Every structure is written in structure tokens, then in C-alpha cells.
Chains A and B, each alone.
Chain A
Amino acid sequence: GAVVSQHPSWVICKSGTSVKIECRSLDFQATTMFWYRQFPKQSLMLMATSNEGSKATYEQGVEKDKFLINHASLTLSTLTVTSAHPEDSSFYICSASPTFLAGGETQYFGPGTRLLVL
């Protein structure tokens, strides 16, 4: 149980294009979803928290116009990196929780998406 999928696993794109990453909870309803990015040999950095049907809450320093998050249903959240640049290259991971205000609750992670912007 508690399976989260991400698509795509890998994406290589040219600078200036937009990239959409999907995160799905396969066997539970994800009231809260989290988006992280992780640089090599560094820990997870929370980008934003989203609750189904409401606007995402972004962490300080994360540009909401650049990283668009949509949590349209209880099983799907998307992250769109708009006008991607090489410095956006990273490992993007989503996690999901069946609980609202799930900060202290168990989060189930997707397998991650590696983004390389040329």
C-alpha cells in the first residue's frame, strides 16, 4: 500500500522550455502533496506544499511563477518548471500523505524525476 508514482523518471530539455512532472498516489487519496528538490549529496529541500483544491504554499525563496503546482484531484499533483534553465537541473521528488496539515505525518515518496536542462 501507499504507492506514489512520478512521471517522467528522466527528462532532458533545452533551456527556455517548460517541463511538467506528474505525481500520482495509486492506492490512497492524497489530501496533501509535497514537492522537493534534491541536489547531489544534499538533503531534501521542500519547495511547496499543496492541498487538493487549494493554492500551493511555497517555501521562502521558491518562485511560484517559475514552479507552478496544481493539485487538481486527490490522486494527482503536477509541477511545471516554466522556462527552464540549466540551474533548474536537479532531482525533483514528490511525496503524498492522506492527512491534511500533514507536516508531522508519514509522507510516501514517489521515485523522483531527474531533470537536465541543456
Chain B
Amino acid sequence: EDKVVQSPLSLVVHEGDTVTLNCSYEVTNFRSLLWYKQEKKAPTFLFMLTSSGIEKKSGRLSSILDKKELSSILNITATQTGDSAIYLCAAGNNRKLIWGLGTSLAVNP
């Protein structure tokens, strides 16, 4: 059965800290790994990764895929209170996205 596992489930840090969120997957016909940020409403897109070892960056956020280890990490540097959210990882095959349970991040001032 296809599955995506995220860790940790929950994380509390202070502003300015750097965090690393983990995602591992077992998906048949894997095509891509996507990261989303969910605050109170629906998820907003962060990254889509298809190639192993190539880092994608957007401001203080970056992500990389390791197809050998079937995993991905999402890094957030110099965290701010506005980064508090649930971060969702999803692995896509040719038909749908398989979602992890998310990592709940709380950044305290």
C-alpha cells in the first residue's frame, strides 16, 4: 500500500531557529514529491521535486529529494512566527497525490 510518513508530527521552536522537516514515501510509479503549507484554510503550494539531489529554494525555505532513500526534507531557516502552520508532504504517482499526516510547526516569539 502506498504511504507517506512525516516526522516529527509536531514541533515547537523559538523565532530565529532553523528547522528540518522530514518526509519518507513508499509509492508505486512515483513521479514527484510536493510540499504544501496549511494554515487555517486550504494548503498552499511550496515546492515540487522530481529530481534527486537538486535543492529548490524560496526565501528562507528550501527542500531536496533523495530518491535513493525515498525521502525529502524541508528546511526553514531563521524561523518567524508567520511560519507557524502544518507542513504537508505528498508523493505523486501517475494518478493522484498520497498525503502524509503533516508536521505541525509552532514558532514562538
Interface on A for B, CB 8 Å cutoff? 2, 34, 42-46, 49, 93, 95, 101, 103-112
Residues from chain B with Cβ under 8 Å of A95 in the complex:
42
Number of contacting residues on B, CB 8 A? 24
Closest to B96 in A: A103
Chain B: minimal CB distance from A29 (Å) = 18
User: Is A44 a contact partner of B95 (Cβ separation < 8 A)?
Assistant: no
Dominant secondary structure of chain B at its interface with chain A: loop
B61 adjacent to chain A (CB < 8 Å): no
User: Is A111 a contact partner of B93 (Cβ separation < 8 A)?
Assistant: no
B58 adjacent to chain A (CB < 8 Å): no
User: Is A103 a contact partner of B94 (Cβ separation < 8 A)?
Assistant: yes
User: Is A103 a contact partner of B43 (Cβ separation < 8 A)?
Assistant: no
Interface on B for A, CB 8 Å cutoff? 30-32, 34, 36, 41-45, 48, 50, 88, 90, 92-97, 99-102
Give the A-B contact count at a CB cut-off of 8 A: 59
The CA of A49 and the CA of B41, in the complex, are separated in Å by 21
The CA of A108 and the CA of B42, in the complex, are separated in Å by 9
User: Is A101 a contact partner of B95 (Cβ separation < 8 A)?
Assistant: yes
Residues from chain B with Cβ under 8 Å of A111 in the complex:
41-42
Closest to A106 in B: B48
Residues from chain B with Cβ under 8 Å of A49 in the complex:
95-96
Dominant secondary structure of chain A at its interface with chain B: loop
User: Is A43 a contact partner of B97 (Cβ separation < 8 A)?
Assistant: no
Chain A: minimal CB distance from B15 (Å) = 25
Residues from chain A with Cβ under 8 Å of B44 in the complex:
109
- Pairs of residues from A and B, 8 with the lowest C-beta to C-beta distance, nearest first: A104-B31, A104-B92, A109-B42, A103-B95, A104-B32, A103-B96, A112-B42, A43-B99
User: Is A44 a contact partner of B43 (Cβ separation < 8 A)?
Assistant: yes
Closest to A57 in B: B95
Q: Known contacts A46-B97, A112-B42: does B92 contact A103 (CB below 8 Å)?
A: yes
Closest to A110 in B: B42
